[in-house]
Homo-oligomer: A and B are copies of this chain.
Amino acid sequence: MSDVNRQILLAELPQGHLSPDHFRLTEGARPTPGPGEALLRTRYISLDAANRAWMQGATYRSALKAGDVMAGGALAEVVEADGGGLEPGDLVSADTGWQDYAVLPTKRLAKLPKLEPMTHLLSVYGVAGLTAYFGLLECGKPKAGETVVVSAAAGSVGSIVGQIAKIQGCRVVGIAGGEAKGRWLIDELGFDAVADYKAGNLRAQLKEHAPGGIDVYFDNVGGDIFETCLFSMNNFGRIACCGALSSYDGAPPAHGPRGVPGLIVTRRLTLRGFVVMDFDDQREKALADLQRWVAEGKLKVQEDVIDGLENLPAALVGLLAGENRGKRMVKVR
C-alpha cells in the first residue's frame, strides 16, 4: 500500500466542451480513517455521462466546484474499516471520487458479492444495469409486441435496455452514431434495427425501422433526438427520461424540444424521470433477474476498460464524444 494518494482535481469548471485541461493530477498523503469510517482503495472508477452534468449545477447531488476532487463512483476494496460489518479485502460500491484512496463513513458503503469478473459489479450489476432495468421496466412498462426505441444505444445503459426489451418480447430499435455501432448492436446484441443519427434524417429512419410508431422511448440524450422520437410516439406511449447527454457538455440549451406539451396531451403520453436510487427497495429482484439473464446468455455484457488513473480525464471526454461501447471504466492500478 502506497503512502501517496494520487487525486484528479476538477481544476476549472468547463464553460463549453470539457477537455482534459480542465483537470489536474495532484498527489497528497493517504488519508486516515476515524471512528465509523473506512479507508478504501479504488480498483475501478466508473465513467458516466452524469459526471459532466454534475459540473453544470445541482442535480440529485450538489454541483461540483473548481478545485474539488472529481466526483465519481467506484468499485473499491476495503483497506481498513471501523464497523459496518466490513473486513479488509471486502469489495464495496462507493462514491470515492477520482483518487487512489478515499475515507468514507461505513454507513454509506454497500458491501458487494465476490464474483468474476469483478468489473460486472460496475456494469451490468451496477448503476448501468440497474438503471436500464428500472428505467425500462418501471418507467417504460413495455409489453410484448411493442416497439421500444433507445438512444445512446451503444452506451452502458442503452446496450442493456435494448437487450432487456428483447427479453420482454419487444421490437427494439437503437439510435447510435455510425455504422459500426449499428452493426454491433444488431449482430452481437440482437437489436432489430439501428438508426444512425449521424447519417441525417432520423425521422425518416425511424419511420422505416419503426413503421408502426414508438410505444416506449428510453431517452438518454434529450435535445433533437428526444424531439424526433416525441413526434414518432404512438398514443398512450411512455418515455423513460434517464438523461440528457446532448445538453451536458456545453452551455444549457436555450430551448427545449418542440411538441412539449402539445403532443404529450394529444397522444396521451406519460413521461417519467428517474434516478436509479429511487428503486433501491427492488434491487434484489433486479439483480436476480440480471444474473439469470446473463447466465442464460440472453444478456451480453460489454465493457470498455481503460488502464490507469491518469487517463480518467481523457476517458470521460471520449465518453461524452460517444467513443465507447458498453460500460466504460478505468482500472486504477
Contact = CB atoms under 8 A, between A and B. Distances in A.
A262 interface: yes
A28 interface: no
A2 interface: no
Contacts of A268: 272-275, 278
A262 B244 CA distance: 6
A99 to B, nearest CB: 26
Contact of A258 (B226, B256, B266, B269): B256
A258 B265 contact: no
A: contact size bracket: 35 or more
A261 B59 contact: no
Interface stretch (A12-20, A153-161, A204-212, A246-254): A246-254
A222 B252 CA distance: 20
Nearest to A277: B268
Nearest to A57: B266
A265 B274 CA distance: 5
B278 A273 contact: no
Nearest to A56: B262
B269 A270 contact: no
Copies per complex of this chain? 2
A271 interface: yes
Contacts of A243: 265
A257 interface: yes
Nearest to A221: B261
A265 B256 contact: no
A51 B293 CA distance: 51
Nearest to A235: B60
A268 B268 CA distance: 19
Contacts of A261: 219, 222, 226, 239, 241, 244, 256-257, 271, 273
B262 A222 contact: yes
Given A271-B270, A271-B271, A272-B270, A254 B258 contact: yes
Interface in A208-246: 219, 222, 226-227, 239, 241-244
Contacts of A241: 261, 264-265
A273 B267 CA distance: 7
A50 to B, nearest CB: 9
Contact of A266 (B60, B264, B272): B60
B260 A256 contact: yes
A269 to B, nearest CB: 5
A250 to B, nearest CB: 13
Contacts of A253: 258
A59 to B, nearest CB: 4
Nearest to A244: B262
A59 B222 CA distance: 24
B258 A260 contact: no
Nearest to A60: B266
11 contacts: A59-B266, A222-B261, A226-B260, A244-B265, A255-B255, A255-B257, A255-B258, A264-B271, A268-B272, A268-B273, A270-B273
Nearest 8 Cβ contacts at the A-B interface = A255-B255, A264-B273, A256-B260, A256-B256, A265-B273, A271-B271, A59-B266, A244-B262
